[in-house]
Amino acid sequence: MSENNFLELKNIYKYFGDVKAVDNISISIKRGELISFIGPSGCGKTTLLRTIGGFNKQDAGEIILDDENIDALPPEKRSTGMVFQNYALFPHMTVYDNVAYGLKQAKVPKAERHDRIMTALSQVELRDHGKRKPSELSGGQQQRVAIARCLVLEPKVLLLDEPLSNLDANLRLSLREEIRRIKEKLNLTVIFVTHDQEEALSISDRIAVLNGGVIQQLDQADHIYNYPSNKFVSTFVGQANFFTGHLQEGKEGLYFDTGTVTFPVERLQKADGEAMAIGEKATVLVRPERIKINTSSPIKGKVVNTIYNGNFTRYFIELEDETVLVDAFNTMDNKTYQKGDVIGMELPTSPHVINDTVS
Amino acid sequence: MLVVGQHNLELAAVLGVFLILPSLIVFIFQTYFLKDSNVGTISGETGSQNVPLSKSVKAFVVTISSMFIAFILLMFIMVVLGAFVKIIGINNTFTLEHFNNETGWDSLSMSLYVSFISAILAAAIGILQGFLFARKPIPGKKLFEFLTLFGLAVPGTVMGIGYVLIFNGPPFFLTGTVMILVLNMTFRKIGVGMEAAISKMHQIDTSMEEASSDLGAGPYKTFWKVLVPLMVPPFVAGFIYAFMTAMVSISSVVFLISPDTNLVAIYILNLAEQAKVGLASAMSFIMIVIVLACLGLLKFVEKRTGIRI
Ligand SMILES: Nc1ncnc2c1ncn2[C@@H]1O[C@H](COP(=O)(O)OP(=O)(O)OP(=O)(O)O)[C@@H](O)[C@H]1O
Ligand SMILES: [Mg+2]
């Protein structure tokens, strides 16, 4: 029971004056799971995280952690550990004393305290840096101290608010893996806030996409990418081409008709799981890499721009009034195209139907 | 002024109000208008360009400043000479006899004592006030802040007369006690510690306190273990500044002293009035050493911690 609902948010609301920062959010998080909150700036990620940590009190709703309702508890009484975006290390204490701080509050005996501090520092590979002050550490090292400071208390949930956003690209990558590794090793339950979709896709067991204080979708990374529930999720995570039209049936089977182009499709399923009826209107999502360049395809368009990305090239193709994105892998064997070329596009037969209509 | 010579308290108080007005105006101007216009010049880049001075202007400015510096140095030199020779200009033989002045040492130790206590109090109260103002929603805190800072701006004479009026009769009969000197100096200098604390608190992100509570420390522990240590630099800077200015303050305490509670700054004034130049110079020399030491210490602390007073 408590393994699957280790941390449960039930209908959480949080207002700041007229602003609904968190709007009826419910999530069940498994023990040992890493969940990312992603969404645009101001969508309520930090607010939700701070509500779980006890730094602001929700206006309505319940938070259950390990079968205990923690709503009434102040931060110091909750078994949550928060890593702040600016790390919030104590500048007047050494690394060792920063990590010791929580254990002293918990009145852990000195010998045990020392062992636990050294273990925590080893976990983040900072065993030899105990005597330094935070100001004598690099950004990545400070971040790891902040994590060690939380880990040493063995929190039930680790809350990370954009912990990597101040770091350079390489460091972000390696620390991302490190967080993942520590989490696996200690079976930690982690909530990870970021506005970097790639970071979320690579690190998370599940992702919650937020917008305007509402969860748009909560799912595994590949589901979020391949089966986004609506237009917002489709465009926030990855690149999207939308086609709005009707499902039709002809001599050769089902096809999708946008009014300007038609392409054959299989049975299409709506978000609610029901099959789309013949003649029904819907918007489908096609990711750029799912469109194949195929000269014999009847759907022709003109290349208006190209962006070379190393392993793939993104083509911007004019199709009637719209611009369609097509990503083609650069294998050195396949043909590349230039601005002005006219190419044929083969659309997938199983595009994903989204919840809302894009006109 | 009237008070000392003629014991006319009421008239002095009225005159005091007129003394307040100009400083009130300057003070309001500084706090509210200069701050904004500063921001303006920072963003408006071109305004803050340094225009190179022409040679003749430069020469003029350098001459004037050199003259001022020379004048000030001359005063210091005269004081030092006056302290160590029999009668300056008349009998220039070296002597330490001017330092053999029991009343002088008594007044010095009284000054040190009063200044020390009131500087500690002023810095501590100021820091606490600054912390509360920066972190807690306190109704009317703008007004409190204004009044506290006003203590710095108000002419000392006015404040001194105010204290005499209030404490010269029941229920608070304190004139002539050490207590009233400490009270006066403390309340005059709270603003310094407060400003230092407020600027420091703005540097300390609230996440510092949140991190502390997240790690299991209650508000009390957080205050003592995290905030107090971080407040040491502004406290020290505020203390030194308050101590230094208290040592040399005259105007606000001149009406509050008694033969038992004489302060060295005022005592020097008395010596000078009685043309006891040697004795006055000797005490002045000691004061200069103390103030210079404080100033050096203050600069050192400011440099080490980035606190500005
Ligand atoms: N203390 C506060 N007082 C008033 N409004 C607030 C406060 N904190 C957040 N808000 C508002 O609540 C909304 C959500 O803010 P929040 O900080 O949770 O966004 P976020 O998703 O973390 O954004 P970002 O990616 O920029 O960090 C915003 O509209 C914000 O302006
Ligand atoms: Mg945020």
pLDDT the model gives residue B203: 80
- The domain limits of chain A are 7-236, 241-354
Identify which of A275, A270, A245 has the alpha carbon closest to the alpha carbon of residue A257. Answer: A245
Residues of B numbered 180-219 whose beta carbons fall under 8 angstroms of chain A's beta carbons: which are they? 205, 207-208, 210-218
Residue A215 CA to ligand 1 center (angstroms) comes to 15
pLDDT tens-digit readout, A230-257:
999 999 999 999 999 999 998 888 999 9
Q: Residue A263 in 3-state DSSP?
A: strand
Alpha-carbon distance values, A216 to A51, A273, B161 (Å)? 19, 17, 70
Q: Residue A28 in 3-state DSSP?
A: strand
CATH classification of B98-305 is 2.60.40.180, yes or no?
A: no
Q: Low-confidence residues of chain B, pLDDT below 70?
A: 1-24, 26-53, 171, 309
Closest partner residue to A102 (CB to CB) among B207, B216, B218 is B216
Kindly report the backbone phi and psi dihedral angles of residue B40, in degrees, each rounded to the nearest multiple of 5, phi listed first: -60, -45
pLDDT tens-digit readout, A196-237:
888 999 999 999 999 999 999 999 999 999 999 899 999 999
CA B250, distance to chain mean position in Å, is 11
Q: What's the one-letter identity of residue A194?
A: T
User: Which residues have CB under 8 Å from A359's CB, separation 6+?
Assistant: A244
Alpha-carbon distance values, B145 to A92, B131, B190, B203, B238 (Å)? 28, 12, 10, 19, 16
**How buried is residue B214: exposed, middle or buried, by Cβ count under 10 Å (0-12/13-18/19+)?**
buried
Token pair 């050192």 is found at B300
Identify which of A207, A102, A220, A105 has the alpha carbon closest to the alpha carbon of residue A155. Answer: A102
pLDDT the model gives residue B43: 36
Q: Is the peptide bond before B259 cis (omega within 30 degrees of 0)?
A: no
DSSP letters spanning chain B: -HHHHH--HHHHHHHHHHHHHHHHHHHHIIIIIIHHHHHHHHHTGGGGPPPPPPHHHHHHHHHHHHHHHHHHHHHHHHHHHHHHEEETTTEEEE--GGG--HHHHHHHHHHHHHHHHHHHHHHHHHHHHHHHHHHS--TTHHHHHHHHHHHHHS-HHHHHHHHHHHHSSTT---TTSHHHHHHHHHHHHHHHHHHHHHHHHHHS-HHHHHHHHHTT--HHHHIIIIIHHHHHHHHHHHHHHHHHHHHH--TTTTTT--GGG--HHHHHHHHHHTT-HHHHHHHHHHHHHHHHHHHHHHHHHHHHH----
Answer yes or no: do A105 and B216 touch at CB < 8 A: yes
Token pair listed for B307:
């606190």
Residue A77 CA to ligand 1 center (angstroms) comes to 24
Domain A7-236 adopts which CATH fold? Answer: Rossmann fold (3.40.50)
Q: Which residues pair with B91 in a beta bridge?
A: B87
The mean predicted confidence, pLDDT, of chain A is 90
Q: Which residues line ligand 1 (CB under 6 A)?
A: A 16, 19, 21, 39, 41-47, 195
User: Are residues B133 and B144 in contact, defined by beta-carbon separation less than 8 angstroms?
Assistant: yes
Q: Which residues pair with A303 in a beta bridge?
A: A317
User: Which residues have CB under 8 Å from B127's CB, separation 6+?
Assistant: B193, B194, B196, B197, B231, B234, B235, B238
CA-nearest residue for atom 8, ligand 1, is A47
Closest chain B CA to residue A91 = B230
Share of chain A above pLDDT 90, in %: 57
Q: Which of A293-297, A311-315, B130-134 has the highest mean pLDDT?
A: A311-315
pLDDT the model gives residue B202: 82
User: Are residues A66 and A124 in contact, defined by beta-carbon separation less than 8 angstroms?
Assistant: no
The C-alpha atoms of residue A246 and residue A256 are separated, in whole angstroms, by 6
The C-alpha atoms of residue B283 and residue B288 are separated, in whole angstroms, by 9
Share of chain A above pLDDT 70, in %: 99
The C-alpha atoms of residue B96 and residue A323 are separated, in whole angstroms, by 96
pLDDT tens-digit readout, B235-292:
898 899 899 988 888 888 887 887 777 888 888 888 888 878 888 888 888 888 898 8
The C-alpha atoms of residue B263 and residue B71 are separated, in whole angstroms, by 27
Query: Residue A161 pLDDT > 60, yes or no?
Result: yes
CATH of segment(s) A241-354: 2.40.50.140
Answer yes or no: do A105 and B211 touch at CB < 8 A: no
Which segments of chain B belong to CATH 1.10.3720.10?
A: 98-305
The C-alpha atoms of residue B148 and residue B127 are separated, in whole angstroms, by 12
Answer yes or no: do A76 and B214 touch at CB < 8 A: yes
Residue A47 CA to ligand 1 center (angstroms) comes to 6
Answer yes or no: do A88 and B207 touch at CB < 8 A: yes
CA-nearest residue for atom 6, ligand 1, is A16
Q: What is the model's pTM?
A: 0.75
The C-alpha atoms of residue B298 and residue A183 are separated, in whole angstroms, by 49
**Is B304 in CB contact (< 8 Å) with chain A?**
no
> What is the dihedral sign for C-alpha B69, B75, B79, B82?
positive
User: Are residues A185 and A177 in contact, defined by beta-carbon separation less than 8 angstroms?
Assistant: no
pLDDT tier for residue A1 given thresholds of 50, 70 and 90: low
Helix (H) or strand (E) holding A22: strand A19-29
User: Are residues A120 and A58 in contact, defined by beta-carbon separation less than 8 angstroms?
Assistant: no
Residue A200 CA to ligand 1 center (angstroms) comes to 20
- To the nearest whole angstrom, how far is the Cα of B298 from the nearest Cα of chain A? 21
Q: b vs e for A326-354, b when ≥16 Cβ sit within 10 Å of the residue's Cβ?
A: bbbeeeeeeeebeeeeebebbbeeebbbb
The C-alpha atoms of residue B133 and residue B139 are separated, in whole angstroms, by 10
pLDDT the model gives residue A225: 94
Helix (H) or strand (E) holding A118: helix A110-123
Residue among A12, A13, A14, A19 to mutate when testing ligand 1 (max atoms within 8 A of CB) = A19
Q: Which one of B210, B213, B215 makes the best mutation probe of the A interface by having the most chain A beta carbons within 10 Å?
A: B215
Q: In residues, how long is chain B?
A: 309
**Is B225 in CB contact (< 8 Å) with chain A?**
yes
- For range A13-39, the mean pLDDT: 93
pLDDT the model gives residue B42: 38
For helices B228-248 and B264-273, give the axis angle rounded to 10 degrees. 10
pLDDT tens-digit readout, A98-120:
999 999 998 999 999 999 999 98
pLDDT the model gives residue A170: 81
For helices B228-248 and B102-135, give the axis angle rounded to 10 degrees. 140
pLDDT the model gives residue B36: 47
